[in-house]
Structure 1
Amino acid sequence: MNDALSEPAWRARQEAHERRVDEWIAPHLARRKRGAKHPVHDFLFTYYSHRPAQLRRWHPGAGVTLRGADPAGFGPFYVATGGGVTLDTAAVLDRRGDSARWITELLRRTATREAQFGCFGMHEWAMVYRQTQDEVRHNAWPLRLTPAATAEVVEANRIRCSHFDAYRFFTAPARPLNQLTPTRETQHDNEQPGCLHANMDLYKWAYKLSPLVPSELVADCFALAREIRTLDMRASPYDLADLGVAPVAVETPEGRAEYVRHQRDFATRAATLRAALLAALDVARTAHAAEPTLTRK
């Protein structure tokens, strides 16, 4: 399978992607230039390894020929063919095949599990459990409750975090309180589709699969991750009112109910993106199988 895009068509997609992404990266770059930090909006650029310029660069995905394009303008995995420029899918999979298989297995196994909605965002509370204000990760921002009251919230709720990259930031006294002991080796066995961090990480898997997947899909995953991060911090113990971030008070029944409503919505939207990533991988494999028939310039 190989779809062809005329030059006006692919340039329009490229420009639309760049405009969309600029709305996210421009404020981050301006803050970085000033030496300012935002605990919500900067997270996706500082925690994840995908640089703003990489997010901005447009790729059509596997199995697409761009008429009138120059392969030098798209990167080392692009080749000129008789019909235009296309991604050399075989070269990408030769380089990243193990990673693509690992990600595929994680996405598929996560999608088959029943979503769990009983964590109430306690992972963020476990990350500051029994710490002083100076010790907490975002210590430029106060906690909504005293350290003692924060600890009481953690101890009054069952901690059931299934996500290794959240669990590894728990404080030492918080780790034994978790019902699971997630590890990188058990990640395929533990991740479930209701988890905020598993759904936020769809952005990570999308950019790690780039350029096999269209950049619009990477941006869709970023957009969802940005909303999830906002809820993550609204439900955290931090007081971010000065940033206009209203709390979701998960220490109360009303706050927990609000958290679950958002969590369910994110899980539904993440399921669509997870399926789209798996479909894009299927397209890449189909394109790979067809590539021996391509006539390169």
Structure 2
Amino acid sequence: MRHITKSYYVNEIPVIEIIDANLEDKAAPLAIFYHGFTGSKDSSMTFGNEIAKRGFRVIMPDAQHHGERRKYGVDLNVNGILFFEALMSNVKEFPEIVHFYRSKELIKDDFIAVAGMSMGGMTTSLILKANKEVNVAVVLMGSPQQIKFNDWIVNQYVSHGGEVDQLAPNAKTIYEYMTEYFKKYDLGLDPQAINQRPLLFWHSKQDPVVPYIYAEEFVEAAKNIPEGKYVYLKLDDQGAHKVPFIEMARMGEFISAAYNEEVENVYEVAEENFNKLWG
């Protein structure tokens, strides 16, 4: 199987597309993968390849302030507000990306998958809450409880002697605005929005950057409602804030199973196919 990789713009959004050469101009199920904080579309290639090899058209956008959209001299690790702005921009731009491919009749069966790592995983949860047209989602070491995680970030900063307004000019006012903004998209505040769509979380218990507890809490709560019937969590005792290649493969199998099999058996089918590859 030979893949074609192309870089171009969807409106003004820089993206990379990966697609089987035989499907280049044909409709294929669409998958959008979002990178993490300080990453880029280029840093997501391995993730994208794992989905594309299963017959998907994979689109990897640069988030605002990242990749081609990163302004010279801007240090993302210094101005923490840019993290929140990137999240908000991803949510806003998702419908634009979908419309672009739908208008070209390139989305087979109108099937749309969304996945991401870290900040991209949080983006995935926010998009799942806001967009009923998403069919399946995979969150890799991201929090589905956005406001709780945002508060944790600020509390961590303050506990180490920082002041909120040192994060950026007028940071406290901006943060209060963003908290109100995220109330509309926080999946943790409305788990019913899953609406029985397959949703897989992966997280290392040793992750020092994004605590796994927010995913664990959410999945435990989701299991108690009908809408969360197909929510799954895989926790690893080892590792850190990095996704092992083997979990990229599991992501690909889960998305593929959601497209090719009955949802009732999505996790079992994905794991069976995964084990055939990895044992």
Same topology, TM > 0.5: no
Q: State the TM bucket, normalised to the shorter chain.
A: under 0.3
Rg larger in structure: 1
Please state which structure has a larger fraction of its residues in strand. Answer: 2
Q: Considering Cα pairs closer than 8 Å and 6+ residues apart, tell me whether 1 or 2 has the greater RCO.
A: 1
Structure (1 or 2) with the greater helix fraction: 1
